[in-house]
């Protein structure tokens, strides 16, 4: 009887652990995972990994930009793919890659942003330090190897590269969707617009209170990790803090906007891109 009670109690506890309460345990005090660290744990879940089929082969024929490097405050070098504006400007869109890194699909997205906003510099921040995953096994390894401090140093290096008078928009997908939000928080009043595609929201309201940019959140109703409940909590947190957010969720799978995904949803992607362009036009351009 005691054994049955114990099993029932443990089952109840496991069912009531929310995504915002995930902790690590050791001999040391508990440490609540940050939003980006929590996302990295998803890479250990086979069902979530399976939502990222290996990318279809693709080679970008005519790159509009080039890879640049910059110094970071940790003494290391950071890298980015830069597409320069047609004329000098202090406006930048920081782009954050998804699961596979700065591959040709992400460069293509950045070249398309340049075509839509020729008077804004596009800077794809490389959080993988030059590594590009060719398959899911490599992507899992790279996602899990990203150190939070290093990522923030890379982002700050990109900000410093842009210059002290630069203003920014941010955008990212999946892994990069969460980092788009984190970069917007880091930028403070220098960020004018943040777009996040199916990225992990910030769950720490003290940190979220530092956000000053409006957010466009584009999510998937069939997402098994960044679920409608997670998105709703994000909206509630933003509202309670008086922050500006517009969310649209599509009846699609995670990574629906990735053209390398066999479950890519062209209609949802087209609509999401139109919202993205309008959002940047209204808030950054």
Mean pLDDT lowest among 10-19, 137-146, 180-189, 242-251 = 10-19
For residue 48, pLDDT beyond 90: no
Residue 243's pLDDT is what?
Answer: 98
pLDDT one-digit tens code per residue, 6-21 = 444 344 333 333 333 3
Annotate 102-124 with b (16+ C-beta within 10 A) or e (fewer).
Answer: bbbbbbbbbbebbeebeebbbbb
Which of 17-26, 125-134, 148-157, 275-284 comes out lowest in average pLDDT?
A: 17-26
Which of 80, 78, 84 lies closest to 67, judged by CA?
A: 80
- Tokens 């490097």 correspond to what residue? 69
Kindly state the helix (H) or strand (E) to which residue 281 belongs, with its residue range.
helix 266-283
Percent of the chain beyond pLDDT 70? 88
Q: How many other C-beta atoms lie within 10 A of the C-beta of residue 39?
A: 23
pLDDT tens column, 182-233: 999 999 999 999 999 999 999 999 999 999 999 999 999 999 999 999 999 9
Lowest mean pLDDT across 2-16, 142-156, 243-257: 2-16
Domain boundaries of the chain, sorted by first residue? 42-58+65-283
In the block, tokens 């008077």 appear at 119
Please name the fold of domain 42-58+65-283.
Answer: Rossmann fold (3.40.50)
Q: Are 9 and 1 in contact, with CB atoms under 8 Å apart?
A: no
pTM summary value: 0.87
């Amino acid at each position: 009887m005691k054994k049955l009670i114990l099993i029932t109690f443990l089952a109840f506890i496991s069912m009531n652990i929310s995504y915002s309460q995930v902790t690590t345990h050791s001999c040391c005090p508990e440490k609540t995972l940050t939003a980006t660290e929590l996302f990295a744990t998803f890479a250990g879940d086979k069902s979530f990994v399976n939502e990222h089929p290996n990318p279809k082969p693709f080679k970008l024929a005519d790159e509009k930009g080039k890879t640049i490097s910059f110094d970071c405050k940790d003494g290391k070098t950071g890298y980015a793919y830069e597409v320069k504006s047609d004329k000098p400007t202090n406006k930048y869109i920081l782009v954050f890659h998804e699961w596979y890194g700065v591959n040709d699909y992400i460069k293509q997205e950045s070249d398309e942003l340049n075509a839509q906003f020729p008077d804004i510099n596009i800077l794809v921040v490389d959080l993988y330090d030059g590594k590009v995953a060719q398959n899911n096994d490599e992507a899992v390894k790279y996602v899990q190897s990203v150190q939070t401090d290093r990522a923030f140093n890379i982002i700050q290096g990109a900000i410093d590269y842009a210059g002290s008078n630069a203003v920014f928009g941010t955008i990212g997908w999946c892994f990069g969707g969460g980092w788009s939000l984190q970069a917007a928080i880091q930028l403070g009043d220098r960020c004018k617009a943040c777009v996040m595609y199916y990225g992990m929201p910030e769950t720490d309201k003290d940190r979220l209170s530092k956000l000053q940019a409006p957010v466009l959140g584009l999510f998937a109703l069939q997402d098994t990790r960044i679920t409608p409940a997670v998105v709703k909590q994000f909206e509630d947190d933003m509202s309670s803090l008086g922050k500006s957010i517009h969310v649209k969720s599509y009846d699609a799978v995670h990574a629906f906007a990735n053209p390398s995904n066999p479950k890519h949803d062209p209609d949802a992607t087209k609509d999401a891109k139109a919202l993205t362009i309008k959002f940047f036009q209204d808030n950054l351009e």
